[in-house]
Amino acid sequence: MSAITTSITQAPEAWSLPYRGKVAMACLIIAESSIFTIFVVAYLFYVGKSLTGPTPRDVLETPIFYTICLLSSSLTIHFASRFLERGNRAVFLGLWFLTIVLGSLFLFGTGQEWHRLIYEHGLTISTNLFGTTYYSLVGLHATHVTVGLLMLGIVLLFGLAGLVGPEQSARVDVLAMYWHFVDAVWVVVFTVVYVLGR
Amino acid sequence: MLSDAMAIQTAEATGRPWVETLHEWVTTVDHKRLGILYILFALVFLVIGGIEAVIMRIQLMWPHNNFVSPQFFNRMFTMHGTTMIFFVAMPILFGFANYLVPLMIGARDMAFPRLNAFSFWLTALGGFLLYFSFVGGSGLYGAGNAPDVGWWAYAPLTSRAFSPGHSSDYWTIAVLVSGFGSIGTAINLIATILCMRCPGMTLGRMPLLAWLNLVMSAMVLITITPLSAAQIMLLVDRYLGGHFFDTQAGGSAAIWMHFFWIFGHPEVYILIIPCFAFMSEIIPVFSRKPIFGYPVMVGATVCIGFVSMSVWAHHMFSIGMSSYSNAFFTLTSMVVGVPTGIKIFNWLGTMWGGKLIFRTPMLFCIAFLFQFLIAGLTGIMLAVSPFDWQLTGSYFVVAHFHYVIVGGIIFALFGAFYYWYPKMAGKMLNEPLGKLHFWLFVIGFHLTFDLMHVPGILGMPRRIYTYEPGRGWDTLNLLVTIGTFIQGIAVLVFVANLIYSYFQGPRAGNDPWDAWTLEWSVSSPPPEYNFATIPAVASRRPLWDRKHPEDPDSRYE
């Protein structure tokens, strides 16, 4: 080996870099935001451009209860990960389970609304532009909730098996970031679909 | 110690059955192997895309030529564009980034090695799907095979009525899947660059290659995703009966163009920024001077990243936007020339007063500077909306963007090959063959793409499969086609050089170019773990510091 491979031996000052999981999740959130932006733009662009009914004003009902469920699940997951950090596994598991329940309730609410729209109002994805943009945007969000719930469920299973402790709290935080993002997107989707788009 | 380990490795390698070696490559999560896989994958598609270009040029060699049918011609330009952007340029640049970034920032691997492998195989699946359309694209209707909707797939060409069968779906899914692969790699690169730097490697000391790939990856996150979203919408339209781009139900064809070009124009910068990165590493080494204006280079790159996201509609001046939109996009398109100009001046400033060494990598870099400048100037011309109305959809535009992609990106890539091949393969590329490759390619490139501007100005439209004689295009088209053949021969010389030098080339040693960044501190090819001990750095040129302890850079930074 030539001499240049011997590394410089000067004591580096304290060297700490951000946690890669958080950076990667932040990147994923930026990328996902970009996808949602395009769907939101399409929704807003096509508001009122449907050639046939039904229109949002006729058929949409504001899902206040399920919105409260989803948004409060952000609080429960936040406190769950704080309790995990402090090593209180029982409270962590309880709050984590509550998060899953709240998320599932929200998903149930979406399903109920779709069922009503399809069977009572005959609105499907191919009915008109409203149907196309509405089901795509809300469906994209519901897909993200579903993926989030699956991941939360995996952590719950590991937690019940006693495998999630304070040493995993950084990873659990990464998942919590994703869940907060899913909630924040709902605020945008809610505003666009149920407030601006009526 | 390192060389012992290497010797043991090679001894093991020679005695092993090839199935085991293949298995190792397929299941690898090592960033260097994945980098090489990306590059080899892209080279295969470069040859395929090149053959498609040659087929088109033979068809256009003289008027009323019957080399291929009009339908086949449409498939060729669609496949050529899609292949070259998504399955040559993107993966080859990701390959270099994969290989070089961890080595340059003193890391042992990427932040997420398995995500890295997953992203590569997604890209590979995308490429496979695109070409499987030749077999599977007929579908139940028995109509069409490969996609023929152009690489931008404008609505309503992609609607069920105009694109029966599954050819457009193969295009959509191939691009969607490879887009997910790109996003995975971009996330990985950002996490690697932000979280895996060796001690002392502050952001201000990072090699420009790492900086520029950081900006490129951030752009991938924001601009590949709109394309993914639009592809999902297209699938909804085609499979679920949606109306996003269905004008008969009130949908808009123009919004597809917006969504496509919100991706499409930043994509050009995603491709060129890593090439700027190659320039910024190669030019200083062959000028024997540190890079001129490091902070300004970083700032200009970030500036390009931001501005390039608000220029997309200059691809759409002719669709009839409001005068405010036209003025806005004309202005932003011209503004993006300013930071780009700063970069060109900085490279010239690096060369100015330097002790220039005209080896093959440097030759490609110098050609890049000239050609990229001209490509930028025709870009400024097309940014002026009245000028664009005159020449949009003509061969002038084709000549312009091939000047960027071939004259800029491909030249920079060849420079990067000659510069880093010794590190990747452990052998030097043959210099006379390299010079032959360079000169043949320069002559072929200029014959093809300089002349191609002229029929465009004379009115020759893009995407036509043949033309009437006697319009003043005949000789020019013949010469353009001859230039294509010369470029093809040059690429064959290059491939021959890669293969010949791998077996017959002289050993490279650790640091054949007397360079200054960390990848040259390890053996060629580097061991699996990159660095036996993680290095510590104190300046932008850590190897200069090691070679010149009496006068280290760290004293001045």
pLDDT of residue B91: 96
Tokens 């997420």, located at residue: B112
- Give percent of chain B above pLDDT 70: 96
Task: For residue B188, give the chain A residue with the closest CA.
Answer: A24
C-alpha neighbours within 13 Å on the C-beta side of residue A34 = 24
Nearest chain B CA: its distance from A41 CA (Å): 10
Instruction: Give the pair of three-digit tokens for residue B56.
Output: 């088109």
Contact flag A30-B221 (C-beta cutoff 8 Å): yes
Nearest to B518 by CA among A12, A11, A5: A5
pLDDT of residue A111: 96
> How would residue B17 be classed by pLDDT, with cut points 50, 70 and 90?
confident
Mean pLDDT of chain B, nearest integer: 93
Contact flag A35-B196 (C-beta cutoff 8 Å): no
Nearest to B357 by CA among B280, B461, B282: B282
B195, B230, B511 ranked by CB distance to A23: nearest: B195
A20, A30, A126 ranked by CB distance to B195: nearest: A20
- CB-CB contact of B459 with B396 (8 Å): no
Task: For residue A7, give the chain B residue with the closest CA.
Answer: B535
Name residue B427's beta-bridge partners: B507
Tell me: the pLDDT tens digits for B254-298? Answer: 999 999 999 999 999 999 999 999 999 999 999 999 999 999 999
Q: Is B522 on the interface with A (CB under 8 A)?
A: yes
Tell me: the pLDDT tens digits for A150-159? Answer: 999 999 999 9
Contacts of A23 in chain B (CB under 8 A): 111, 190-191, 194-195
A12, A19, A20 ranked by CB distance to B200: nearest: A12
Instruction: Give the pair of three-digit tokens for residue B2.
Output: 């390192």
Task: Give the list of residues 6+ apart from residue B441 with CB closer than 8 angstroms, or none.
Answer: B411, B414, B486, B487, B490, B491, B494
Residues 109 to 128 of B: which have CB under 8 A from any A CB?
A: 111-112
Contacts of B183 in chain A (CB under 8 A): 28, 31
pLDDT of residue A13: 62
Instruction: Give the pair of three-digit tokens for residue A37.
Output: 């932006």
Q: Is B256 on the interface with A (CB under 8 A)?
A: no
Name residue B461's beta-bridge partners: B394
CA distances in angstroms from B28 to A84, B25, B100, B220, B528, listed in the order given: 35, 5, 17, 25, 11
- DSSP element (H, E) containing B522: none
> How would residue B135 be classed by pLDDT, with cut points 50, 70 and 90?
confident
Tell me: the pLDDT tens digits for B37-86? Answer: 999 999 999 999 999 999 999 999 999 999 999 989 999 999 999 999 99
Second CATH level (architecture) for the domain A20-196: Up-down Bundle (1.20)
Q: What one-character DSSP code corresponds to residue B143?
A: -
Contacts of A40 in chain B (CB under 8 A): none
- Give percent of chain B above pLDDT 90: 89
Q: Is the pLDDT of residue B143 over 90?
A: no
Helix %, strand %, coil % for chain B, to 5? Answer: 70, 0, 30
What backbone phi and psi angles, to 5 degrees, belong to B427?
Answer: -125, 150
Nearest chain A CA: its distance from B118 CA (Å): 15
B191, B510, B545 ranked by CB distance to A2: nearest: B510
Category of B515 on φ-ψ map: left (φ > 0), alpha (ψ -120 to 50) or beta = beta
pLDDT of residue B142: 55
B249, B255, B533 ranked by CB distance to A45: nearest: B255
Nearest chain A CA: its distance from B77 CA (Å): 28
A/B interface, count of CB pairs below 8 Å: 144
Task: Give the list of residues 6+ apart from residue B138 with CB closer than 8 angstroms, or none.
Answer: B144, B145, B165, B166
Rounded CA separation B509/A161 (Å): 53
Rounded CA separation A47/A11 (Å): 62
Task: Give the list of residues 6+ apart from residue B392 with CB closer than 8 angstroms, or none.
Answer: B317, B318, B382
Domain range list for chain B: 31-555
Q: Is the pLDDT of residue B513 over 70?
A: yes
Tell me: the pLDDT tens digits for B144-182? Answer: 678 889 999 998 999 988 888 888 999 999 999 999 999
Contacts of A136 in chain B (CB under 8 A): 232-233, 236, 242, 244
- Give percent of chain A above pLDDT 70: 93
What is the reported pTM?
0.94
Q: DSSP labels for B182-241? A: HHHHHHHHHHHHHH-PPTT--GGGS-HHHHHHHHHHHHHHHHHHHHHHHHHHHHHHHHH-
Q: Is the pLDDT of residue A5 over 50?
A: no
pLDDT of residue A9: 46
pLDDT of residue B13: 54
Burial of B210-225, coded b for 16+ CB within 10 Å and e otherwise, reads bbbbbbbbbbbbbbbb
Nearest chain B CA: its distance from A17 CA (Å): 5
Contacts of B218 in chain A (CB under 8 A): 30
Rounded CA separation B206/B228 (Å): 32
Name residue B394's beta-bridge partners: B461
Contacts of A31 in chain B (CB under 8 A): 183, 186-187, 221-222, 224-225
A1, A7, A129 ranked by CB distance to B2: nearest: A1
> How would residue B404 be classed by pLDDT, with cut points 50, 70 and 90?
very high
Contact flag B226-A34 (C-beta cutoff 8 Å): yes
Rounded CA separation B361/B411 (Å): 9
Contacts of A129 in chain B (CB under 8 A): 243, 249-251
Rounded CA separation A147/A99 (Å): 14
Contacts of A35 in chain B (CB under 8 A): 225-226, 228-229
> How would residue B556 be classed by pLDDT, with cut points 50, 70 and 90?
confident
Nearest chain B CA: its distance from A141 CA (Å): 13
C-alpha neighbours within 13 Å on the C-beta side of residue A124 = 8
CATH ID of B31-555, from 1.20.210.10, 3.30.565.10, 3.40.50.920, 3.40.50.620? 1.20.210.10
Q: Is B102 on the interface with A (CB under 8 A)?
A: no
Tell me: the pLDDT tens digits for B115-129? Answer: 999 999 999 999 999
Tell me: the pLDDT tens digits for B519-539? Answer: 999 999 999 999 999 999 999
User: H helices within B64-112, ranges in order?
Assistant: 70-82, 90-104
Instruction: Give the pair of three-digit tokens for residue B530.
Output: 């990159």
Nearest to A39 by CA among B141, B167, B410, B228: B228
pLDDT of residue A158: 96
Burial of B3-15, coded b for 16+ CB within 10 Å and e otherwise, reads eeebeeeeeeeee
pLDDT of residue A12: 54
Category of B466 on φ-ψ map: left (φ > 0), alpha (ψ -120 to 50) or beta = beta
Q: Is the pLDDT of residue A29 over 70?
A: yes
Q: Is the pLDDT of residue B496 over 80?
A: yes
- Cβ atoms < 10 Å from Cβ of B36: 19
Mean pLDDT of chain A, nearest integer: 92
Instruction: Give the pair of three-digit tokens for residue A105.
Output: 């309730």
Q: DSSP labels for B200-216? A: T--GGGS-HHHHHHHHH
> How would residue B3 be classed by pLDDT, with cut points 50, 70 and 90?
very low
Q: Is B221 on the interface with A (CB under 8 A)?
A: yes
Contact flag A27-B3 (C-beta cutoff 8 Å): no
Q: DSSP labels for chain A? A: --GGGSPP---PPP-----HHHHHHHHHHHHHHHHHHHHHHHHHHTTT--SSS--HHHH----HHHHHHHHHHHHHHHHHHHHHHTT-HHHHHHHHHHHHHHHHHHHHHHHHHHHHHHHHH---TTTSHHHHHHHHHHHHHHHHHHHHHHHHHHHHHHHHTT---GGGHHHHHHHHHHHHHHHHHHHHHHIIIIIIT-
B192, B222, B533 ranked by CB distance to A34: nearest: B222
Nearest chain B CA: its distance from A127 CA (Å): 8
Tokens 């100015």, located at residue: B352
Rounded CA separation B297/B342 (Å): 8
Nearest chain B CA: its distance from A45 CA (Å): 9
- Cβ atoms < 10 Å from Cβ of A57: 10
Q: Is the pLDDT of residue A6 over 50?
A: no
B222, B252, B521 ranked by CB distance to A30: nearest: B222
Candidates A19, A22, A35: best to mutate against B (most CBs of B within 10 A) is A35
- CB-CB contact of B555 with A27 (8 Å): no
Tell me: the pLDDT tens digits for B534-553? Answer: 999 999 999 999 999 999 98
A4, A12, A128 ranked by CB distance to B243: nearest: A128
- Cβ atoms < 10 Å from Cβ of B62: 17
Name residue B507's beta-bridge partners: B427
Q: Is the pLDDT of residue B1 over 80?
A: no
CA distances in angstroms from A5 to A122, A186, B510, listed in the order given: 72, 53, 9
Burial of A143-158, coded b for 16+ CB within 10 Å and e otherwise, reads ebbeebbeebeebbee
Task: Give the list of residues 6+ apart from residue B61 with CB closer than 8 angstroms, or none.
Answer: B67, B477, B478, B481
Contact flag A8-B546 (C-beta cutoff 8 Å): yes
Rounded CA separation B8/B507 (Å): 18
Residues 358 to 377 of B: which have CB under 8 A from any A CB?
A: none
Interface of A with B (CB under 8 A): 1-2, 4-10, 12-13, 15, 17-20, 23-24, 27-28, 30-32, 34-35, 37-39, 42, 45-46, 49-51, 125-126, 128-129, 132-133, 136, 140
Q: Which sign does the torsion angle of CA B281, B282, B285, B287 carry?
A: negative
Tell me: the pLDDT tens digits for B195-209? Answer: 999 999 999 999 999
pLDDT of residue B164: 82
pLDDT of residue A164: 92
Nearest chain B CA: its distance from A103 CA (Å): 24
Domain range list for chain A: 20-196
Nearest chain A CA: its distance from B105 CA (Å): 13
